[in-house]
Amino acid sequence: MAKQRVVILGPNTDDPLHHERAEMADLDVEFIQESPQSEGEAIEAVRGADAIMMRGGWGTEQVIRAADQAKVLAVYSHGFNHIDVDAATDMGIIVTNGAGMCAEEVSNQAVTMALALNRQVVQTTNQLRDSGNWDRSAFLPIEPIDEQTLGIVGFGNIGRQVARKLGQGWRMETLVYDPYVAPWIIREYNVEQVFEINELCARSDYIIVVVPLNTETFHMIGAEQFDHMKKTAYYINVCRGSVTDEPAMIEALKAGKIRGAGLDVFEQEPVDPQNPLLQMNNVITAMHLAGASTRSAWLAPQRASQQVAAVLRGEWPSAGQNPEVTAKLEAKSRMPGSAGKINGPTG
């Protein structure tokens, strides 16, 4: 019998698991694939698991508390807002994600939307397609983007790539709001850190939001922030819809408080076809595709598998998302390795 059980929850149960098997080839593990159709089925699936890998939902408190033997819970995605991290931490379960698996892709989507809004590419295409009208006045003025100020909310892997591309590549003055970023990262990317989000909103011509969705970031961009933005500003969200107070954004766009928006995500997904944002000529949209590419498709299982393998070897994973769990680990005698081997990201 294998020493450790890795339970994979996903849409199907016939995945060959090439990356998972490769990354854990040195470990004595048993892979179990389950496709639960209810929370109850998910609860039964995770019982006795040493590691859980999730491709979809079922990250509820009830499911996590049923995984009383688990050491690690890994999601294949970059976002992990569907996981009850507090419950996992309380259970002494390390939560990891696919950090970095789509940083280039999501930053490219943000850059694409910024450039498209600047050059009015979608709007002019729609006008010519719908009516053939050659009147260009509605799309002017077009300000040189290299003379504009970029504001990035969140300066993790994705935010740094946005700064590299638009700040260094397109020579935009770049402001960053992220109270957790290290000062040497600010210096490395030659950006200006601001410590009040409203200051970033007031000074920026393009505001790009790339933060994880959690209790701290839920509706972090709302009516107050839109009131601080320039009437000529563009707002771009490529992370999670609920980071933005969507009704407040709709009102800001209707009232002309900002010039337009680029949205890869919505609070409700799939988006309601009657959502006013879909009817606005100054809003460009996508279907939560920012992270998609042929590369990110294989990087996702590779990164998730690397995280699980590290924990099963008794190491701290490079993408551990709940470092506060270390306070619980000493009490988990079932952890592999010598006592204290897993003691947090600095251990």
Whether the pLDDT of residue 78 is over 90: the answer is no
Nearest-angstrom CA–CA distance, 48 and 3 = 12
Lowest-pLDDT choice from 143-157, 208-222, 331-345: 331-345
Q: Which tokens go with 302?
A: 């590779």
Kindly state the DSSP code that residue 271 receives in the 8-state scheme. Answer: P
DSSP bridge partners of 73? 52, 95
**Token pair for 107:** 């930053």
Look at residue 9 and tell me whether its pLDDT is greater than 50: yes
Q: Where are the domains of the chain?
A: 4-100+294-329, 103-285
- Interval 16-43 mean pLDDT: 96
pLDDT digit string, tens, across residues 82-117: 999 999 999 999 999 998 899 999 999 999 999 999
Q: Which of 147, 192, 196, 269 is catalytic?
A: 269
269 catalytic? Reply is yes
CA distances from 111 to 106, 164, 173, 238, 308 (A): 9, 10, 14, 10, 32
Q: How high does pLDDT run on average in the chain? A: 93
337 pLDDT band, cuts 50/70/90, is very low
SS3 (DSSP) at 331: coil
State mean pLDDT over 272-295. Answer: 97
Q: Give this prediction's pTM.
A: 0.90
Burial pattern 173-201, b for ≥16 Cβ within 10 A else e, equals bbbbbbeebeeebbeebebebbeebeebb
pLDDT of 345 higher than 90: no
The helix (H) or strand (E) run that includes residue 51 is strand 51-54
| pLDDT at site 137 | 93
Catalytic one among 19, 78, 228, 288? 288
Answer CATH for 4-100+294-329 from 3.60.20.10, 3.40.50.720, 2.60.120.650, 1.10.10.10: 3.40.50.720
Q: With a cut of 90, say whether residue 343 has pLDDT above it.
A: no
Please state, in angstroms and rounded to a whole number, the distance separating the CA atoms of residues 33 and 322. 25
Active site residue 192: no
Catalytic residue among 5, 19, 160, 240: 240
User: CA distances (Å), 272 to each of 79, 261, 275, in order?
Assistant: 22, 18, 5
pLDDT in tens, 139-179: 999 999 999 999 999 999 999 999 999 999 999 999 999 99
The sign of the dihedral angle between the CA atoms of 54, 38, 82, 314 is negative
**For the purposes of burial, counting CB atoms within 10 Å of the CB of 250, is it exposed (0-12), middle (13-18) or buried (19 or more)?**
middle
Could you confirm whether domain 103-285 is CATH 3.40.50.720? Answer: yes
Instruction: For residues 172-195, give the mean pLDDT.
Output: 97
Residue 3 has pLDDT above 70, yes or no: yes
Same fold, 4-100+294-329 and 103-285: yes
Does 199 participate in catalysis according to the annotation?
no
